[in-house]
Amino acid sequence: MAEQPLCTRDAAWAIVTEWTTDPALIRHMLSVEVAMRAYAPRFGGDPELWGILGLIHDFDYQRHPNLDGQGHPNVGIAYLRAQGWPEVILRGIAAHAPELTGVHPESEMEKALVAVDELTGFIAAVTFVRPSRNIADVQLSSIKKKWKERAFAAGVRRDEIERAAAALGVPLDEHISIVLAAMQAHAAMLGLDGAR
């Protein structure tokens, strides 16, 4: 079923750009995509499938930000299901918000999505407080320093990232390094190269 023609990166990108205009939210989804693609080989996963899940996981958030079970991600899941998207993608999206869907992450792909989701935003926040605003200048040590400052990016649930990394079996420092390297490799696409 995952071989359906519509489950492609192009199809996912078309939906993302149709439903989302907020540049920060688009950057977030692209960041999660590159982090998921980086993680896939570690677990023998398909980088394309993992990347598509990362790219599309929040596509409905701008239109349906209410987190009461009637909005994100359930609206998006219903839309994709009606379009014929494969269950592996629908379940992956559901598993990144178990408190809203009742679906808990089980596969490595689902666990990785939870682990990288908020971390990408934290890394972007660290980048934006650098004088250069260039992710190339961000190191693990600078992320760890900001990690301890609870007032910095206060909305990021650090405990959730820590639990998710542990569920994946990846030490936190290594987890942060994997995601940071993936984002650094795509700095221009993510608008994290200091040029904007």
CB 92 within 8 A of CB 39: no
Residues with Cβ within 8 Å of residue 102, at least 6 apart in sequence: none
Show the tokens assigned to 114: 């939870």
CB 192 within 8 A of CB 183: yes
| pTM score | 0.94
Q: What is the pLDDT of residue 17?
A: 97
Q: What is the pLDDT of residue 34?
A: 98
Q: What is the pLDDT of residue 5?
A: 52
Question: HSE on the CB side for 135, CA within 13 Å?
Answer: 24
Q: What is the pLDDT of residue 140?
A: 97
pLDDT in tens for each of the 196 residues of the chain? 344 457 899 999 999 999 999 999 999 999 999 999 999 999 999 999 999 999 999 999 999 998 787 889 999 999 999 999 999 999 999 999 888 889 999 999 999 999 999 999 999 999 999 999 999 999 999 999 999 999 999 999 999 999 999 999 999 999 999 999 999 999 999 999 997 5
Alpha helices in the chain (DSSP H): 9-19, 23-39, 47-56, 74-83, 87-95, 98-101, 108-128, 140-148, 158-168, 172-185, 187-190
Q: What is the pLDDT of residue 90?
A: 96
Q: What is the pLDDT of residue 98?
A: 87
Query: Domain ranges in the chain?
Result: 9-190
Q: What is the pLDDT of residue 168?
A: 95
Q: What is the pLDDT of residue 4?
A: 46
Q: What letter would DSSP give residue 105?
A: P
Alpha helices in 40-73 (DSSP H): 47-56
CATH topology of domain 9-190: Hypothetical protein af1432 (1.10.3210)
Q: What is the pLDDT of residue 8?
A: 95
